[in-house]
Amino acid sequence: MGKTKKVLFLLSFLALVGGLSFPTMASAEDGDGEYNPDPTAKEIDAEFRSETVEEALKEGKVDFSRAFIQGKQAQTPSSVTPDDIGVSKPWVTVNNVTGQYVLTSFTLKGVGEYGEVWVSNELAYPEGDPRNEEELSVITDQQVQYLLNEFDEKIYEQEVEFFAPPAERKGDNSMFPEYHQDDSGRVVILIDNIKDENYYDPNYPSYIAGYFSPAISEFTDRNVMTIDSFDWASRTGPDAERPFLYEGTFAHEFQHLLHHDSDGAEENFINEGLADFAQFLVGYGHSDSHVDFFMNNLKNSLTQWGDQSDLQILGDYGVAYLFQLYLNEQFGSEFLQKEFKHPEQGIDSINAVLEEMGSKRDFKEVYQDFMMALVIDGKYQGDNKTYQFQSIDLEPNLEAAAALDKIAPAWGTDIKFITPNKKIDHLYFKGIDFLSTNWEAVSDPDKGQVLWGSEGDQADNFLIKELDLTGETNPALSFETKYEIEESWDYGVVQVSTDNGQSWTSLANEHTSGEVDENGYPAIKENVPGFTGSSGGWTTESFDLSAYAGQKVHLAFRYMTDWAHNEEGWYLANLKINDRLIDTMESTESFMSLEQVTEEYVDYQVQFIGFKKGKAKGKANHVKVIQFPNLLNMKEKDKIDLKDMLKSAQYSKILMMVTYAPKPGKGGSAEYDYEVVMKGKRR
């Protein structure tokens, strides 16, 4: 009953948003007749991987006012059969550039046991695009049948057996049941010329090879995935220039579909790592482009997703995949299967599964061993499989990594080389005590210098100030604010703590809201009410603090975001108590981070690899490994071993690896410094 009501609501809402206008893309005719023949394959933006129907509608991203139907049409709901090949129907697709969900006409080209293939009737690029002359977006019936066979005989059965079956969706609750209802409930495979940057710009360096969109499956009430149509001749099959690219993409996206049904709130680094692992699982090999990119960008964080540029995100995929591959080799397939289904997410999920399986290691130790394995890959470790990969040969670019600044990202590793010398007295290492706040001072055209809550996916940015209310009998808080925050998904929360940041109480007034979307981020649900949507410009907000009269408390402004999509954010100015200005909020200097309030020291992992001189010749002791999982609790033996290694003439070089190891859910990066101190020099 609830689903039916939702569909009726959506249909009534569509009457308001149909026919929206969007910016026109640059025409391909503006180019010089050239195009990029080998763009890098990538996934759709993270926003669309988590976006729901309600969110798309609220943000005006839906336009179902058009559908060009060609060929014969199916007039009544039924299960399609091979006899229906040639039928055309509208399916929902998304434009990754405009963010718009539209109806696109597709023709049925293949029907299998588990899947059915529909090819877009609009595969051409914009007029004047040189790729049209090369026929780079043409799909043959033979290619369709090949993909369908791969899905039926390899992808579907192996992934369902390893992970879980998909939820049953037969189109009964589709917004267009006359087109999408089908008693078979097969997976719908759409082949389309995906509307991304590369579609509009022939020389763009990357393109979206395929995607799974939860919103599209919800719009149609079918299990739907989309594959791009670019250059199938060079990107399918074992002997192609890019072997198994589209087959691997489909295996990857099918895991996303299954994971969405099993644990839609899973953190990206696990979801994407398992999606790349699915490609390996069904026989399409490693995600070489992802792995190779990470090998040249070893500093990339494992847990922080999409925190860099468009192409840099390939490194996120690479490290996420290798971590899942390492878990599979160390603990077996049972580990990944439990991780896939576990109700917790991220690091908490991994720790829970490690405990369930009786491992003596936790995530921190596994990550440290994982990075060690990446660097030395077991080449000189004899029978010790902890520091090696069995199924892939890795060639990390250590020199490129060592040239970077002395900053360690959260669960990312910075690398530095040290040359041994008998005159070395010791190694001086200094990290920061606490992370500073992620809020920033920025210039506002109306207010001048103000504070801004910053941005990022899964952000939880605290701006904290201690308030002395011991002399106040009826204190009231006020401040000026401006915000554009993703409505019902992201929030700006005002909180008070009476126990030095161990717990927080959220304040409410007539402008705060506690209505988080039902699919919203769990941590946000736990901390509302707060500000969301638009303030309509600068305004003054006030809160009653009389419950805290006579106390010293901590006041927090906490900007929280979900998995994807950031709007302009949250701005603050002129903090007052009872109309008395206590801070202009032009700088963060008088404010604290949560870590400073709770005295949560930055935790560094540091490990060293000593490479002995000469060739390995299979000797198990050609390298020496020293690990410091926690610098505050170093073993005396390890200290002595490190001192000996630094002085020893038997080593040609020493590699130092530094990781910022925060608690689950924390991000950011931590600076550090070090110095090799020679004898006779004090430090």
CA 218 from centroid of its chain's CA atoms: 22
- pLDDT band with cut points at 50, 70 and 90 for residue 377: confident
SS3 content of the chain, % helix, strand, coil (to 5): 30, 25, 45
Q: From the CA atom positions of the chain, what is the Rg in Å?
A: 28
CA–CA distance, 652 with 420 (Å, rounded to integer) = 7
Q: Is 107 helix (H, G, I), strand (E, B) or coil?
A: strand
Could you please report the per-residue DSSP string of 380-441?
A: T-TT-GGG--SS------HHHHHTS-SEEEBT-EEEEEE---TTEEEEEEEE-SSPPPS-EE
Domain range annotation of the chain: 40-262, 440-598
| Amino acid 534: pLDDT | 97
Among 25, 93, 89, smallest CA distance to 56 is for: 93
- Evaluate if residue 635 carries a pLDDT over 80: no
- Evaluate if residue 448 carries a pLDDT over 90: yes
Instruction: Identify the sign of the CA torsion 74, 77, 83, 89.
Output: positive
User: Using an 8 Å Cβ cutoff, are 610 and 654 in contact?
Assistant: yes
- Whole-prediction pTM value? 0.85
Among 176, 178, 191, 184, smallest CA distance to 146 is for: 191
* Arithmetic mean of pLDDT over the chain: 89
pLDDT single digits (tens) 148-204? 999 999 999 999 999 999 999 999 999 988 899 999 999 999 999 999 999 999 999
- Evaluate if residue 550 carries a pLDDT over 60: yes
- Supply the DSSP symbol for 513: B
> 14-23, 64-73, 626-635, 674-683: which range is least confident on average?
14-23
- Evaluate if residue 415 carries a pLDDT over 50: yes
CA–CA distance, 350 with 327 (Å, rounded to integer) = 10
pLDDT single digits (tens) 92-111? 999 999 999 999 999 999 99
Cis before residue 475, ω within 30 degrees of 0?
no
- pLDDT band with cut points at 50, 70 and 90 for residue 24: very low
Could you please report the per-residue DSSP string of 222-273?
A: S-EEEEE-TTGGGTSSTTSSSTTHHHHHHHHHHHHHHHHHHHTT--HHHHHH
Could you give phi then psi for residue 669, rounded to 5 degrees? -150, 160
- CA atoms within a 13 Å half-sphere pointing along the CA-CB vector of 88: 13
Q: Residue 195 has which token pair?
A: 């509307």
Q: Is 631 helix (H, G, I), strand (E, B) or coil?
A: helix
pLDDT single digits (tens) 215-272? 999 999 999 999 999 999 999 999 999 999 999 999 999 999 999 999 988 999 999 9
| Amino acid 301: pLDDT | 95
| Amino acid 564: pLDDT | 77
CA 393 from centroid of its chain's CA atoms: 26
pLDDT single digits (tens) 468-516? 999 999 999 999 999 999 999 999 999 999 999 999 999 999 999 999 9
| Amino acid 306: pLDDT | 75
Average pLDDT over residues 338-351: 96
Q: Residue 177 has which token pair?
A: 């049941």
Q: Is 627 helix (H, G, I), strand (E, B) or coil?
A: strand
- pLDDT band with cut points at 50, 70 and 90 for residue 44: confident
CATH topology of domain 440-598: Jelly Rolls (2.60.120)
Could you please report the per-residue DSSP string of 313-351?
A: HHHHHHHHHHHHHHHHHHH-HHHHHHHHH-SS-HHHHHH
| Amino acid 147: pLDDT | 96
